Every structure is written in structure tokens, then in C-alpha cells.
Chains A and B, each alone.
Chain A
Amino acid sequence: MSVILVFLLVVFGFSLWWLSQQRLLSKPWTEQGLAVDPSHRGEAAMPTAKIALGIFLAVVGALFALFASAYFMRMEYSDWQAPPVPSVIWANTAILVAASIALEIAARTARDGRIDISRVALAIAGAATLVFLAGQLVAWQQLSLAGHYLEVNPANGFFYLLTGMHGLHIIGGLIALGFTLVALSAQAPISGQLQLRVELCAMYWHFLLFVWLGLLVLLAGWAGDFIAICKQVLT
């Protein structure tokens, strides 16, 4: 359970940082009047939707951290045999990085009001993500053609399970992205609301890219190697 515990430490760290700004040590009964909420102070308060997405991503993060924990714990048993990583995975990774970059461009141009560029970048990101998903399916096919079926070994099971879970989250994102794209195509002067939506898409994609890189470290066996080295150093 080490991965999830480390993840929780990070979440708790954030929470503490936030709580530390909330005057938890004050004595509320001694105060009266229109107190200012510390989080409302300062320039632009964070938009609600962004906070919500941040929290949602923490939940998604916990989910994948738990899968990773399970992966490590299951890996300890003797029957573990990791399947080879299908080569197409590397191309997929590159495509997902490209999608993330495109979204970043979309978000920035949206902020500057250059809606035409933003629209194109968003469309490219969507298309690239679709290619990524197709690529993942190819990876599944390559694996099963080579006889690495789901039930043959838990390592295979994890491969399908983790890529599948990640893919489902990507699909969810694509739906939101699709709606944003439609809205973006319909609107001439871009509203703040819409800028925010593009930005949220970018945030979500970056996070899923990060998760994917984490999964890749697991699935390619680097994490296992790393642990093995650590153990050797320790003993």
C-alpha cells in the first residue's frame, strides 16, 4: 500500500497548506463582524470549476495510486510474469504527449482571445486522443496475438485493466472536449466561461498524461527493476 500512502501524504500536504490559511487557531467566539474569508483575499480567487476539477483529479489519482499499490503487492508473488510491452505503446505515448501540447496551446490562445487557433488546436488534440485510443486497442491486439491473454497471468490482467481504466477516463474527457469544441465553434467572441472550459480540458489531459506515464513506468517493468535495485542496495 506504499504508493497510495505516498499519494495520501501529498494530498494531506495540500490540505494542510489550505487549512493553514484558514485561521484554524483563532478563537471565533472573540470575534464579531464581517470577517473576511482568507481564501477570498488576494487577486483572482480560483474559479469554482477549477477547484472541483482539482479535487476530482485527486480522486482519480487515488484510484490509480491504489491500482499501482495492488500491482506492486501482487507482483511479489512467484507466478508473476510481466508481458512484453507492445511496441505501439511508445508511439501512443508520443501521441498523447502531442495531444497534451495541443491542448496547452488551445488553452493559451483561448486566453488571448485567438479563438481560431484555439479551435484548431482543440480539434487536433481531440483527434490525437482518438488516435491514442485506437493505438491502445492495437496494443491489446498485439498482446493477445502473441498469446498474452488476460487470464494467463495477473501481470497481463493488470496490463489490460490499467490501460482500460485509463482509456475510460480518456473517453470521459473526450466527451467533455467534444462539447467544448462545439461551443467553441459556435461562439465568435470567446466568453470567460468558455476560456475556462478549454483550460479545464487542458488540465485534465495533462493529468491523464501524467497518470499514463506513471502506468508506463509500472507496465514496462521499470518500477519493478527500481525496487529490486533498492532492495539490493539495502541488503
Chain B
Amino acid sequence: MTVAIVLVLVALGSIVFHVLSPWWWTPIASNWGYIDQTLIVTFWITGVVFTAVVVFMAYCVFRFRHREGAKAAYEPESRKLELWLTGITAVGVAAMLAPGLIVWSQFVTVPDEATEIEVVAQQWQWNYRLPGEDGILGKSSNKLVSYDNPLGVDPDDVNGQDDVIVEADALHLPIDRPVKVLLRSIDVLHDFYVPEFRAKMDMVPGMVTHFWFTPTRTGEFEVLCAELCGVGHGYMRGAVFVDSEQDYQAWLASQQTFAEISGPVKIGAAGGGAAR
């Protein structure tokens, strides 16, 4: 009896907790509302299954608890029942998987008009690089990283000269413009994680990974690291500002390019020359 009641309470308690919980995801600030919706579908389906199973168990425990002289039924299996249950489960699983895969295919298909920006992680700070006026990010390599060239931008690549470098400072993004975020790391694994954007991806040294999204809400958002990267992992924070177009341009104008940072190299000089 107690057991049955406790089981029901566990199921009910979980639902009540879920409904009353003030702990819920952050208001979204990107185009990935579909992800939230798939999550909600999943919550519904799994919630129903959980409650059904636990309540059924509670009923069995109550109804078929041992009594003097009682004897259990003898029923080795039931083909029909098992097939039905398998079928229903398969349908439920498909109902979650199908939207999931559809949204995933959007997630991995970067729109052509997306502007590329680069996030470069290092223990334990965030750096950024924007493509500059030519719209192209110059080549880079971890082998080139040094004190004066913290992002390892290739000084011989003309495309890199006008790249805007933001070292250990906040990133700004214009609202409603899709961005393809290229991710690099110069030391260990990190993960560029802004909860409000929903999207995230690991950064792997030696590789350039990416994801894309469109910011849909202006404001300041906190960047966290979501892949263990050493003792500073929990304190590796940064900020992203989503700006109106005007504010964005104003911010951009105040930033320094690679060429400006790395000294007197003429922009566009043949071969980039002897940066250092």
C-alpha cells in the first residue's frame, strides 16, 4: 500500500515539479526555436510514458500485492500484446526522431548569405576575428601563434591584413543577419556556448569547426565554455553583444585590424612582406 502510494507520489511529484519549476531554459535569442519545439515534443511524449509506466506499476503493486492464499496467474507471453507495444513505441520514437532530423538538417546547412566570423579559444579566454572589408578571413595556423600574433594569423596572406582582431574582449554581432561561426582553438578542446543561442560546438585544435545561427534579439549574452579545458574551465567567460545595425557599425569602426596591431606593414603590399 505504502509502496503504491509512494510510486504515485513520485510520478505526480515529478509532474508538479516540472510544472511549477521556475527553472527553465533562458529566453531564446536566435533562430533555433525549432530546437525548443522538438524539446517540448520530447518532453510531452516522455512525460506521458513515464507517468503511465509508474502509475501502472503502482496499480499492480496495490492490486496484486500478496494476500494469504493468493496465487499468481500463469502467462508466459502474449505475442499480440508485445507486438502492439513494440509498434506503439516505434511510432513514439519516430515522432521524436523525425522532427529532430529535419531540424538537424537545417542546423548543418549553412545559408549562403551567412557572414563568417571566427572564435578562437585559448586557456582561458575568448578571442574573435572578423573578416574585415574584403569579407574574407586570412589563413591561420597554430604554428604561427606567438606573443604578438595571438591568433596565429598568417602574415603572408593579404586577406588576413584587414581582419579585425578582438582579443579577450566582447564580440558584437548585428541583429537578424545569419552568421557562420568558425571555431578554432590554439590549445585544448573548448566549446563556444551561449545558452540563449541554443547552438554550440566544440573547438578542436588543428581543426576548424563551425555552426550557424541568426541572432534575433539585441542585448548582452554571456559566453561560457562547455568542454572541459583545464582548471580555468569554469571561469572561462566572455560576452556577446547583439546590436542594431547602427551600433554594430559604430563598434566595428573602433576595432583594430591585424595589420594595425602587427605594426607597419602596408595593407595589400605584395605577399604581405616581413610581418616579423
Binding site for B on A (CB under 8 A): 27, 29
Q: How far is the CB of B100 from chain A (nearest CB, A)?
A: 24
Chain A residues near B77 (CB-CB < 8 A): 27
Chain B residues near A29 (CB-CB < 8 A): 76
Chain B residues near A27 (CB-CB < 8 A): 76-77
Q: A27: nearest residue on chain B (CB-CB)?
A: B76
> Could you list 3 A-B pairs, sorted by A, with CB under 8 Å?
A27-B76, A27-B77, A29-B76
Complex Cα spacing A29 to B78, Å = 13
Q: A29: nearest residue on chain B (CB-CB)?
A: B76
Closest 3 pairs between A and B when the two form their complex, measured CB to CB: A29-B76, A27-B76, A27-B77
Report how many residues on chain B are interfacial, defined by Cβ distance under 8 Å. Answer: 2
Complex Cα spacing A230 to B231, Å = 46
Q: B206: nearest residue on chain A (CB-CB)?
A: A77
Q: How far is the CB of B196 from chain A (nearest CB, A)?
A: 35
Q: Mark B76-93, 1 if CB is under 8 A from A, else 0.
A: 110000000000000000
Complex Cα spacing A29 to B74, Å = 11
CB contacts under 8 Å to A, within B57-113, are 76-77
Complex Cα spacing A27 to B76, Å = 9
CB contacts under 8 Å to A, within B170-227, are none
Complex Cα spacing A27 to B77, Å = 10
Q: A79: nearest residue on chain B (CB-CB)?
A: B206
Chain A residues near B76 (CB-CB < 8 A): 27, 29
Q: B207: nearest residue on chain A (CB-CB)?
A: A77
Complex Cα spacing A181 to B20, Å = 75
Q: B74: nearest residue on chain A (CB-CB)?
A: A29
Complex Cα spacing A27 to B79, Å = 12
Complex Cα spacing A29 to B76, Å = 7
Q: How far is the CB of A30 from chain B (nearest CB, A)?
A: 8
Q: A30: nearest residue on chain B (CB-CB)?
A: B76
Q: How far is the CB of A64 from chain B (nearest CB, A)?
A: 27
Q: B76: nearest residue on chain A (CB-CB)?
A: A29
Complex Cα spacing A29 to B77, Å = 10
Q: How far is the CB of A29 from chain B (nearest CB, A)?
A: 5
Complex Cα spacing A179 to B10, Å = 62
Q: How far is the CB of A31 from chain B (nearest CB, A)?
A: 12
Complex Cα spacing A43 to B100, Å = 55
Q: How far is the CB of B36 from chain A (nearest CB, A)?
A: 33
Q: How far is the CB of A169 from chain B (nearest CB, A)?
A: 32
Q: How far is the CB of B48 from chain A (nearest CB, A)?
A: 33
Q: A28: nearest residue on chain B (CB-CB)?
A: B76
Q: How far is the CB of A23 from chain B (nearest CB, A)?
A: 16
Complex Cα spacing A190 to B76, Å = 52
Q: How far is the CB of B142 from chain A (nearest CB, A)?
A: 13
Q: How far is the CB of A74 from chain B (nearest CB, A)?
A: 12
Complex Cα spacing A117 to B44, Å = 75
Complex Cα spacing A151 to B170, Å = 40
Q: How far is the CB of A73 from chain B (nearest CB, A)?
A: 13
Q: A77: nearest residue on chain B (CB-CB)?
A: B206
